[in-house]
């Protein structure tokens, strides 16, 4: 990777890296700084490094570095390549570091307080098999980083803040029990793929997104999406306690706009969101079959102050469906079972379909009729005003 001095020529420093017990005996816990060293094929296997600062160093190896653990390490302006194992990492920071190619640098389970800031990494190409891999199977934070063609990991806690990504994967291994994920003030260009994913919670705010895929992700707690400027959002979660989307623009990608299923989410609240344009469909449905009725799994589905060209919300089974102060061109709720239906101060202009939908109670008194609107009520007990 460079013509820097090989680490094997660093005398006592090299001895201390190979034998941390010797270093402890001779120097105690004093900070050790290593400048402009090249870590190539020299092997470090089974050691535990701690309290070291690496400055302008190059790490390029395949399995040469396989540490047992690393603690209180600082990498400043270093470059990385190949397959590197720093073991279980605790309080390890990478600042202004870089790498190109099929890098694999993943901290072991139990890693805590691992931080990448102002780093730039790029994999070999757009094929996911050629992506680089960065992060830990524990806690990872990325701040002001620029990544392309990378897979990033934070399997128990993941924070992405002020970053710019292009075609980045972010899988969360379910074996850890789920990750607490926060993404904010970032730009996620291309595809941001979070499959497979197991979350404790997921928060995405103040972020621009081209395409995000959360399909079949499981969330033990809550999902919040706030102040997004998004293209396509696939929110077909496998399960979640709640999904809240507010103050967003979800514009679509020319083919798809938004998908989610109340059958898998206990509570859905969508507030002040503008979806798509023209005749593009927004899909918020699925899970109920008129042939074999399933147990009600959704407590509420609320749409407030939303603009939606085409709403497809068929086959839902909910205790409460609320549309409040929405503007919709076409809406379909066919083949659904709804305990309480509330449509308030909402305009549905061209088409309204309740075919084969049954409700127990309803309040549609402020749903205005529109001349020329096609209403379909075959097999339904919904009573439209006027």
Is 305 inside any structural domain? Answer: yes
Task: Pick the range with the lowest mean pLDDT from 93-97, 264-268, 294-298.
Answer: 294-298
Question: Is residue 126 predicted with pLDDT exceeding 60?
Answer: yes
pLDDT exceeds 80 at position 41: yes
pLDDT at 3: 75
Could you tell me if residue 210 is inside a domain? no
Q: In this structure, are 148 and 267 located in the same domain?
A: no
Total-model pTM: 0.94
- Is residue 168 domain-resident? no
Instruction: Verify that 19 and 157 share a domain, yes or no.
Output: yes
Q: Please determine, for residue 266, whether its predicted confidence score (pLDDT) is greater than 90.
A: yes
Per-residue pLDDT tens for 296-349?
668 999 999 999 999 999 999 999 999 999 999 999 999 999 999 999 999 999
Query: Which one has a higher pLDDT value, 43 or 29?
Result: 43
In a domain, 68, yes or no: yes
pLDDT of residue 83: 95
Question: Is the pLDDT reported for residue 106 higher than 50?
Answer: yes
Q: What band does 2 get if pLDDT is binned at 50, 70 and 90?
A: low
**Is 236 inside a domain boundary?**
no
Which of 111, 137, 163 delimits the end of a domain? 163
pLDDT number for residue 1? 45
154 with 300, same domain: the answer is no
Question: Residue 294: pLDDT above 70?
Answer: no
pLDDT at 365 over 90: no
Please identify, among 163, 178, 209, the residue that sits at the C-terminal boundary of a domain: 163
User: Is 140 within a domain?
Assistant: yes
Residue 283, pLDDT above cutoff 90: yes
Above 60 in pLDDT, residue 292?
no
Average pLDDT over residues 128-141: 96
Domain boundary among 147, 163, 179: 163
Domain assignment of residue 183, yes or no: no
Q: Averaged over 125-136, what is the pLDDT?
A: 94
* In the chain, % of residues over pLDDT 90: 86
Average pLDDT in the chain: 94
Determine the structural domain holding residue 126 and report its residue range.
Answer: 1-163
Work out how many domains the chain is built from and give that number.
2
Three-state SS for the chain is: CCCCEEHHHCCHHHHHHHCHHHHHHHHCCCCEEEECEEECCCCEECCEEEEEEEECCEEEEEEEEECCEEEEEEEECCEEEEEEECCEEEEEEEECCEEECCCEEEECCCCEEEEEECCEEECCCCCHHHCEEEEECCEEEEECCEEEEEEEEECCEEEEECCEEEEEECCCCHHHCCEEEEEECCEEEEEEECCCCEEEEEEEEEEEEEEEECCCCEECCEEEEEEEEEEEEEECCCEEEEEEEEEEEECCCCCCCEEECHHHEEEEEEEEEEECCCCCEEEECCCCCCCCCCCCCECEEEEECCEEEEEECCCCEEEEEEEECCEEEEEECCCCEEEEEEEECCEEEEEEECCCCEEEEEECCCCCCCCCCEEECCCCCCCCCC
Q: What percent of the chain has pLDDT over 70?
A: 97
Asked if residue 120 and residue 5 are part of one domain, the reply reads yes
Query: pLDDT digit string (tens) for 163-221?
Result: 999 999 999 988 889 999 999 999 999 999 998 899 999 999 999 999 999 999 999 99
Task: Tell whether 158 and 29 lie within a shared domain.
Answer: yes
User: Does residue 358 have a pLDDT over 60?
Assistant: yes
């Amino acid at each position: 990777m460079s013509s820097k001095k090989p680490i094997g020529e660093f005398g006592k420093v090299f001895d201390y890296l190979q034998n941390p017990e010797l270093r402890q005996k001779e120097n105690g816990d004093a900070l050790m700084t290593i400048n402009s060293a090249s870590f190539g094929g020299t092997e470090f296997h089974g050691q535990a490094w701690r309290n070291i600062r690496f400055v302008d160093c190059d790490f390029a190896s395949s399995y040469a570095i396989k540490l047992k653990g690393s603690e209180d390490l600082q990498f400043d302006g270093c470059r990385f390549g190949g397959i590197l194992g720093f073991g279980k990492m605790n309080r390890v920071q990478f600042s202004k570091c870089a790498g190109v190619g099929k890098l694999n640098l993943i901290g072991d389970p139990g890693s805590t307080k691992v931080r990448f800031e102002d780093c730039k990494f790029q994999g070999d190409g757009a094929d996911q098999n050629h992506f680089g891999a960065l992060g830990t199977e524990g806690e990872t934070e990325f701040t002001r980083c620029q990544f392309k063609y990378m897979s990033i990991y934070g399997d128990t806690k993941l924070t992405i803040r002020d970053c710019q990504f292009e075609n980045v994967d972010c899988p969360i291994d379910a074996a850890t029990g789920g990750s607490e994920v926060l993404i904010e003030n970032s730009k996620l260009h291309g595809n941001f793929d979070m499959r497979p994913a197991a979350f404790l919670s997921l928060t995405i705010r103040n972020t621009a997104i081209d395409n995000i895929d959360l399909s079949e992700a499981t969330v033990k707690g809550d999902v919040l999406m706030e102040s997004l400027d998004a293209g396509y959002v696939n929110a077909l979660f496998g399960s979640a306690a709640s999904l809240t989307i507010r103050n967003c623009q979800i514009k679509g990608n020319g083919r798809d706009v938004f998908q989610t299923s109340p059958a898998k989410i206990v509570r859905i609240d969508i507030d002040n969101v503008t979806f798509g344009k023209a005749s593009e469909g927004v899909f918020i449905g699925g899970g109920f079959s008129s042939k074999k009725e399933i147990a009600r799994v959704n407590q509420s589905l609320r749409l407030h102050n939303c603009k939606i060209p085409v709403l497809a919300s068929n086959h839902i089974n909910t205790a409460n469906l609320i549309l409040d102060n929405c503007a919709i061109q076409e809406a379909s709720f066919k083949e659904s079972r709804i305990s309480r239906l509330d449509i308030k101060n909402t305009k549905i202009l061209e088409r309204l379909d309740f075919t084969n939908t049954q409700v127990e109670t309803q309040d549609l008194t402020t749903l205005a009729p529109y001349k020329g609107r096609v209403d379909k009520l075959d097999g339904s007990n919904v009573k439209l005003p006027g």
